[in-house]
A and B are shown apart, each in its own frame.
Chain A
Amino acid sequence: MAQIAAEDIGKRTKQEQRRQLWTAVKQNRECYLMIAPFMLFFIIFTVIPVVMSLPMGFTDFNMVQAPKFVGISNYTTLFLSDKIFIRSIRVTLVFALLTGPVSYMLCFLLAWLINELPPKLKTVFTLIFYAPSMANVYTVWQLIFSGDINGYLNSFLIDWGIINSPIQWLTDGRYVLGVTIVVQLWISLGAGFLALRAGFQNIDRSLYEAAAIEGIRTKWQELIYIVIPSMGPQMMFAAVMQIVSSFTAGSVAQALVGFPSTDYKAHTIMTHAYDYGWVRFEMGYASAICMILFIAMFLCNKFISKALGKYLD
C-alpha cells in the first residue's frame, strides 16, 4: 500500500514538473523569440555540422566512398603506433605552454597600460598592437627570417658582426620552433586583447574615486582590488580565445617553416590533422586527431574557469 502511494506521488510530481516546465516556457516566450534568429543560423551552420562530424572519428572516410565504421582503431593507431602524433603532442604542449600564458599576460598587461594613456595615444597603440591580427602577413616574416644573406635578420646580424655566415632560420631544426613562437606571439594580441581593452573602458570610474578615499594608493593595489574583480567576464573571454589560438596553432608554422617542418620540429596536432585530412584524405583519422585536441582544450578550459573563478568571485 505504502509502495503504491509512493509511486503515485512520483507520477504526480513528474506530471507537475512537466506542467511547471511548460508554464516556464510559456512565461519566457519573449526570451525564446529573441534568441530565435541567432539559434536558427547557429543550429543550421554550426550545431548540425558539429553533430554530423562527431562520429567521423570512428570511421574510415576518404571523402569518396561512404564512411566505414572501424570502432576505436583510429584512436589505438594514434596512441600506439603513430610516432609523429606523439611528437606533435609534445610540440603542441611546448607551444601552448609557451605562447598561451605569455600572450595572455601580454594582452592583459598591454591593455592595462594603454588604459593609462591619453585618448589619442590609446587609439594609436591599440591599433599598433592589434594590427598584426588584421594583417596576417607571413610573407614578410619569410623575408625577415630568410636563410640567405638577403634576409633582414641575417643581414642585420652580419652587419653588426654577431654572426659570420647566414643562419637557416626557417629550415634549421634548432630554430624552427623558436621562430614560429615569435611569429605566433606577434599575431597573438587579437580578440582577447581587444575585449580586455573594451572591458577596461567599461569599468565604472567612480570605483577608482571610491578606492582613493578608502586608502588605495598604488597602481598595483588598484589592479588587485578594483580592476581584476571588475574584469572577470572579459578575462574569461580572453582565456577561451587564448586556449583556442594556442592549441590550434599550426597555420603559422605551415606558412612559415614549411610543411612538413624540418624533423617535424614545428609539427603541431593541428598540422597533423591537416596532413591526414587535406593531404592524405583520411578524414576519419583526422577527425580522431581533432577530437583528442578538443578534449584537451575542453579540460584546459574547465581548469582555467575554475582557477579564474576562485580569484574573481
Chain B
Amino acid sequence: MAEVNIDRLRASDKQAGRRHGGTIAIFAVLLIVGIFMLLPIYLTVIMSIKPVEELFVFPPKLYAVRPTLDNFRDMFRDLNSNRVPFSRYVFNSIFVTVTVTALQCIFCSMAAFVLAKCKFPGSKLINGIIVVALLYQSNVIYIMQYIVMAKLGLIDSPLALILPSIASPMGLFLMRQSISQIPDSIIEAAKVDGAGLFRICWQIVIPNQKPALMTLIIFAFQAAWNIQSGSLVFKEEYKTLPTVVNQAAASGIAKAGVAMAAAVFMLIPPIVIFMLAQRQVIETMAHSGIKE
C-alpha cells in the first residue's frame, strides 16, 4: 500500500495535499462511527472483569475499579460441573466447526464456479432457486428439517449438527457473485489449453478469489462455531460449546457478569479467524488480480 501511495503522489503533486487532508477526514469519520460500534463491546469486556458488587453501583463506571477474573472462574466451574468433561465440548465444537467450514467452502466454491461461468440445462433455474432460498424465511422450515432428519435417522448423532449447514445458499451466492467478475476469456483460454472444468476451478479461478473465499471462511466459521445442539442432539457427549455456555449464562440479570464472560469467551475464536482471514484479503491488493 505504501508504494501505491507514493505512486499516486508522484502522479499528481497538486492532489497530494488534498489526499492527505482527505485521509484525515476519512479517519475522523471512521473513528466516530467506530466508537459507537465498539462501546457496547468494550462495556461487555469491562463487565466481564467487574466483581459482582461493582456491577450495580451508581453511577455505573466505564472501567473496572478492581478487575477480577471471578466471572470467568465461575463460568468454567459451572461448565466443569457437567457429567462430561469440559474438553469434550471444546473438541465437539472444533470438530463441527472445522468440518462444516471446510466442506462448505469446497462445495460452495465448486458449485458457484459452475453456476457463474457455465450455461447448461437447469443452470438458470438453480440460480433462481438460490436467491429464493435466501429470501424464504419460515418458522415451519425447522420443523420440516427436523422431520427430514428424523426420517434419515440423524437425530442424536453428531452428523445432525454438521450436514444441514454444509450447503449454505448464502455462501454459494457470495462466491457466485464474485466469480462472475472473472473475464470469460480466461476460462476459454484455459479450455483451449485442454484444462477440464475441475482444474480450471481449483487452479485458476479459486486462487484468484481470495477475498471472497476468505470472507466465506469468516461467515462459515462464525455460523458453525455458534451451532447449538438444541433439539437435535440430546446425548451430553455430543453437545457443542455454545449449548453449554448459554446454559451457564442464562440465569438472568443477576448473573450478568458470567453472561458477559461467556460472551467474551465465545467471541475469541471467531475474532482470531477473522484477523487471519482479513489479513489475507488485504494482502490480495498487493498482487493485482487477473487482468484481461
List A residues 209-251 near B (Cβ within 8 Å).
209, 212, 217, 219, 230, 233-234, 236-237, 240-241, 243-244, 248
A128 to B275, CA, bound (A): 11
A140-B44, A244-B134 are known contacts. Are A189 and B107 too (CB-CB below 8 A)? no
A202 to B126, CA, bound (A): 26
Q: Chain B residue with minimal CB distance to A277?
A: B139
Q: Which residues of A contact B144 (CB under 8 A)?
A: 48-50, 52-53
Is A30 an interface position by the 8 A CB rule? Answer: yes
Q: Which residues of B contact A165 (CB under 8 A)?
A: none
Q: Are B60 and A123 in contact (CB-based, < 8 A)? A: no
Q: Chain B residue with minimal CB distance to A123?
A: B278
Is B97 an interface position by the 8 A CB rule? Answer: no
Q: How many residues of B contact A (CB 8 A)?
A: 106
A-contact 0/1 string along B203-239, CB 8 Å cutoff: 0000000011011001100100000000000000000
A186 to B23, CA, bound (A): 24
List A residues 258-294 near B (Cβ within 8 Å).
270, 273-274, 277-278, 283, 286-287, 290-291, 293-294
Q: Chain A residue with minimal CB distance to B26?
A: A113
Q: Are A34 and B278 in contact (CB-based, < 8 A)? A: no
Q: Are B134 and A134 in contact (CB-based, < 8 A)? A: no
Q: Which of A46, A156, A195, A197 contacts B133 (CB 8 A)?
A: A46
Q: How many residues of A contact B (CB 8 A)?
A: 104
Is A64 an interface position by the 8 A CB rule? Answer: no
Cβ distance A129 to chain B, nearest Cβ, rounded Å: 6
Q: Are B47 and A212 in contact (CB-based, < 8 A)? A: no
A127 to B58, CA, bound (A): 32
Cβ distance B127 to chain A, nearest Cβ, rounded Å: 11
A189 to B59, CA, bound (A): 31
Q: Which residues of A contact B169 (CB under 8 A)?
A: 42, 46
Is B247 an interface position by the 8 A CB rule? Answer: no
Cβ distance B273 to chain A, nearest Cβ, rounded Å: 10
Q: Which residues of A contact B43 (CB under 8 A)?
A: 140, 143-144, 152
Q: Are B4 and A205 in contact (CB-based, < 8 A)? A: yes
Q: Which of B30, B197, B274 contacts A113 (CB 8 A)?
A: B30
Q: Are B135 and A117 in contact (CB-based, < 8 A)? A: no
Of B65-73, B76-84, B88-96, B281-289, the one with at least 4 CB within 8 A of chain A? B281-289
Q: Chain A residue with minimal CB distance to B287?
A: A205
Q: Are A290 and B26 in contact (CB-based, < 8 A)? A: no
Q: Which residues of A contact B141 (CB under 8 A)?
A: 49-50, 53
Q: Chain B residue with minimal CB distance to A109?
A: B29
Q: Which of A126, A139, A204 contacts B289 (CB 8 A)?
A: A204
Q: Are B173 and A240 in contact (CB-based, < 8 A)? A: yes
Q: Are B212 and A198 in contact (CB-based, < 8 A)? A: yes
A123 to B275, CA, bound (A): 7
Q: Which residues of B contact A149 (CB under 8 A)?
A: 58-59
Q: Which residues of A contact B288 (CB under 8 A)?
A: 204-206
Q: Are B135 and A298 in contact (CB-based, < 8 A)? A: yes
A38-B172, A41-B166, A126-B278 are known contacts. Are A198 and B138 too (CB-CB below 8 A)? no
Q: Chain A residue with minimal CB distance to B172?
A: A38
Q: Are B271 and A206 in contact (CB-based, < 8 A)? A: no
Q: Which residues of B contact A93 (CB under 8 A)?
A: none
A225 to B167, CA, bound (A): 36
Is B190 an interface position by the 8 A CB rule? Answer: no
Q: Which residues of B contact A52 (CB under 8 A)?
A: 144, 147-148
Is A137 an interface position by the 8 A CB rule? Answer: yes
A143 to B139, CA, bound (A): 30
List A residues 31-67 near B (Cβ within 8 Å).
31-32, 34-35, 37-42, 44-50, 52-53, 56, 63
List B residues 143-168 near A (Cβ within 8 Å).
143-145, 147-148, 152, 163-164, 166-167
Best-surrounded residue of B23, B196, B212 (most CB of chain A within 10 A): B212
Q: Are B58 and A113 in contact (CB-based, < 8 A)? A: no
A244 to B135, CA, bound (A): 6
A289 to B135, CA, bound (A): 14
Query: Mind listing 18 A-B residue pairs with CB under 8 Å?
Result: A25-B121, A49-B144, A50-B136, A53-B144, A56-B138, A125-B30, A131-B37, A132-B37, A137-B263, A139-B259, A143-B43, A143-B60, A144-B40, A199-B211, A233-B176, A240-B135, A287-B140, A298-B132
Q: Supply 20 further A-B pairs (C-beta < 8 A) apart from A32-B120, A39-B111, A125-B34.
A: A21-B121, A24-B121, A34-B110, A48-B148, A50-B136, A50-B141, A53-B140, A131-B37, A131-B38, A132-B40, A134-B267, A137-B263, A191-B170, A204-B291, A233-B181, A234-B177, A273-B139, A283-B140, A294-B136, A294-B138
